[in-house]
Structure 1
Amino acid sequence: MPSLRESLENASAPALRTIASLPRAVPFLVILGLMVAGALIPGWGWVLLALVTLFLAWLLVLGWPRLTAPERLMRIAVVAIAVAITITQAIPR
Structure 2
Amino acid sequence: MWYNFLRKARSIRFAEVFISQYSVVSCRIKELCYNRGYSLTQLAEMVGISKTQLSDYIALRNIPNVEMAYSLARCLDCPVEALYNWRPLPGNNTEG
Larger radius of gyration: 1
Give the TM bin, normalised by the shorter chain.
under 0.3
Larger fraction in strand:
2
Higher relative contact order (CA 8 A, sep 6+): 2
Decide which structure has greater helix share: 1
Tell me the TM-score normalised to structure 1 length.
0.28
